[in-house]
Amino acid sequence: MNVLTKPLENDLVFGTQADRDWWRGAVIYQIYPRSFQDTSGDGVGDLAGIAERMGYIASLGADAIWISPFFTSPMKDFGYDVSDYRSVDPMFGTLHDFDHLIAEAHRHKIRVMIDLVISHTSDQHAWFAESKASRDNARADWYVWADAKPDGTVPTNWLSVFGGSSWAWNPTRKQYYLHNFLTSQPDLNFHNRDVQDALLDVTRFWLERGVDGFRLDTINFYFHDTGMRDNPALTEDRRSDAIAPSVNPYNYQDHLYDKNRPENLEFLKRFRALTEEFTAIASVGEVGDAQYGLDIAAQYTSDNDKMQMCYSFDFLAEELPTTERVVKVVQQFEDAAPDGWACWAFSNHDVRRHGSRWGDHAPERDIYLTLLAGLLMSLRGSVCLYQGEELGLTEADIAFEQLQDPYGIEFWPDFKGRDGCRTPMVWESDGDNAGFSTGEPWLPVSPEHRQRAVDAQEHVHGSILNRYRTFLAFRHEHTPLIKGTLEFTSRTGPVLSFIRRHENEQIFCAFNMSAEEQFIARPDGAVEMLEGHGFSGLLRADDIELPPHNAFFARLG
């Protein structure tokens, strides 16, 4: 097997061949580059800004970063519409800036994962320009084209995630093309082997620049049903707002034929085989499906020949993470793929921040959010933390005239889009634009966020920022919390508890999910209460005392 020199050089930074398993239990810090740090003064974050803040990321204790798209793009969907996979959009910098970012991350012993958006491109990509020009050119079959029905209507009843039909008419070819998202995001035809090869070449390009892994956007959207069968209706009791807001008719279909196709498994094996040519590469797939997400995630991570990790939207939905809910989600994944590996997240760039989504229901928001952080980082699996989550940021309120997201503009005011979770990172409580930029930010800085800025929390012992740091440090010291198995010991009621086991070590974890004090029985045998995690659960002679929204950790003999 051919292993390239740059990844081998990375081993000098990260260690030996054992680091091939670095992703298992890793904490991955997601960066939305437009909103992280601007160094040019144009109001948009850039790659140089990420490199500049690498010390902060290292101070959190993150193992890796995931950077949302920075490729050349018309920005109709803010980088998730790529027009050139091999270049950096000028607003973010240059390839030289990316190389510097890699070097800075590795200097801080942080891995770099980048967002690959390969289910679709921008309509301004050269591939699509050629494909739409005629029905018989070299790339005529690189996108999903279909004839109209005899009455001129769309080929199938498939719907776009962003609203309306997922088919758009092209007058030159006199055919419809598929777009699962915006009309300016035509879907690539993965049934064409040349398309797969081209995308794998793109993957190789970034591997050779030294990236440590990938986050694969909308991984279950790659293939469509070649028989062009209509999706059946979804019964009301099975509808969910996890993928699309409840006002979107996308939720009315059972998406059997426009995504989730079995042919995807073979492509993912090809993708994994390519990454295996390099040293210690890991990938996480985003499974966008409200009905089958966990099962698909389990399938995509099975047998050690596809994705290392996947995440679904179960913990990104509005539904509160009660004991019963957490057990149901985790157990469903474990049952479907006992040898698979999940990646859990409570927030990201596509959903309302859980600081509001769930925190609005708590009498003391920061205490509750700290509990959720401890829970997230104690589950079996890897973890994605979204920038600002560690500050306890809530969803920003963006006025209609300030909206940038086409999704929010389409469904306003019933759904306000994704801008509220994408506002600039707050570095400073005072000063212009909270230390994010010297220019006018592309989205406004939320006034409510300033009091939660990094400099306002940095030296406050009990701040949510420092409690994240404390727990991450605690987690790094206890291997069962990173790589161990998980056995639930309480599945219902106000207290969620489980045991994490790795080799000969067992750690008991208990979380009071309620706003009232709780008492639970001590586990059998020797119980050594652990400290250094920032929670105040107490081991007593006959039981364990758990203050409201608090946790307890102990080593079992």
Burial of 100 (0-12, 13-18, 19+ CB in 10 A): middle
Query: What is the spatial distance between Cα 67 and Cα 378, in angstroms, rounded to a whole number?
Result: 24
Three-state SS at 179: coil
H or E stretch covering 506: strand 505-512
Cβ-based neighbour number of residue 202 at 10 Å: 17
* pLDDT, tens digit (0-9, with 9 covering 90-100), for 278-317: 999 999 999 999 999 999 999 999 999 999 999 999 999 9
Per-residue pLDDT at 9: 53
Query: What is the spatial distance between Cα 134 and Cα 167, in angstroms, rounded to a whole number?
Result: 18
Q: Please give the model's pTM, rounded to 2 decimal places.
A: 0.96
Say if CB 182 and CB 81 are below 8 A apart.
Answer: yes
**Beta-bridge partners for 66:** 30, 113
Mean pLDDT in residue range 156-179:
98
Mean pLDDT in residue range 116-120:
98
Three-state SS at 475: helix
Model confidence at 392: pLDDT above 50? yes
Q: How confident is the model at residue 10 (pLDDT cuts 50, 70, 90)?
A: low
Query: What is the spatial distance between Cα 494 and Cα 331, in angstroms, rounded to a whole number?
Result: 18
Instruction: Output phi, psi for 28, to 5 deg.
Output: -110, 125
Angle at alpha carbon of residue 107, lines to 84 and 100, rounded to 5°: 30
The closest of 186, 227, 257 to 178, measured between CA atoms, is: 186
Query: What is the spatial distance between Cα 377 and Cα 242, in angstroms, rounded to a whole number?
Result: 22
Residues tagged active-site: 217, 277
Q: How far is residue 462 from each of residues 190, 387, 430, 531, measured CA to CA in Å?
A: 50, 19, 21, 15
Q: How confident is the model at residue 431 (pLDDT cuts 50, 70, 90)?
A: confident
Mean pLDDT in residue range 402-429:
96
* pLDDT, tens digit (0-9, with 9 covering 90-100), for 324-359: 999 999 999 999 888 899 999 999 999 999 999 999
Per-residue pLDDT at 76: 97
Three-state SS at 193: helix
Three-state SS at 520: strand
Per-residue pLDDT at 12: 54
Q: How far is residue 176 from each of residues 5, 21, 200, 250, measured CA to CA in Å?
A: 45, 44, 27, 19
Per-residue pLDDT at 234: 95
The closest of 182, 93, 94, 170 to 129, measured between CA atoms, is: 170
Model confidence at 13: pLDDT above 90? no
Instruction: Output phi, psi for 389, to 5 deg.
Output: -60, -40
Model confidence at 5: pLDDT above 70? no
Written as one letter, the residue type at 377 is M
Report helix, strand and coil shares of the chain as percent, to nearest 5: 30, 20, 50
H or E stretch covering 466: helix 464-476
Model confidence at 235: pLDDT above 50? yes
Token pair listed for 177: 């093309």
Model confidence at 322: pLDDT above 80? yes
H or E stretch covering 545: strand 543-546
| Residue ranges of domains in the chain, CATH in brackets | 5-123+189-475 (3.20.20.80), 485-556 (2.60.40.1180)
The closest of 6, 100, 108, 109 to 51, measured between CA atoms, is: 100
Token pair listed for 218: 């909308």
The per-residue pLDDT of the chain, averaged, comes to: 95
Q: How far is residue 350 from each of residues 134, 274, 422, measured CA to CA in Å?
A: 35, 29, 8
Q: How confident is the model at residue 18 (pLDDT cuts 50, 70, 90)?
A: low
Q: How confident is the model at residue 126 (pLDDT cuts 50, 70, 90)?
A: very high
Three-state secondary structure of 320-363: CCCHHHHHHHHHHHHHHCCCCCEEEECCCCCCCCHHHHCHHHCC
Q: Which residues contact 224 (CB under 8 A, 6 or more apart)?
A: 144, 178, 187, 191, 257, 258, 259, 261
Q: Residue holding tokens 């921008």?
A: 122
Q: How far is CA 111 from the centre of its chain?
A: 16
Q: Residue holding tokens 């652990």?
A: 530
Query: What is the spatial distance between Cα 161 and Cα 150, in angstroms, rounded to a whole number?
Result: 26
Say if CB 121 and CB 174 are below 8 A apart.
Answer: no
H or E stretch covering 55: helix 54-60
Percent of the chain with pLDDT over 70: 97
Say if CB 507 and CB 556 are below 8 A apart.
Answer: yes
Per-residue pLDDT at 244: 87
Query: What is the spatial distance between Cα 322 and Cα 96, in angstroms, rounded to a whole number?
Result: 46
H or E stretch covering 499: strand 495-502
* pLDDT, tens digit (0-9, with 9 covering 90-100), for 22-57: 999 999 999 999 999 999 999 999 999 999 999 999
The closest of 421, 432, 425 to 457, measured between CA atoms, is: 425
Q: Let me know how many helices (H) and strands (E) the chain has, helices first.
A: 16, 21
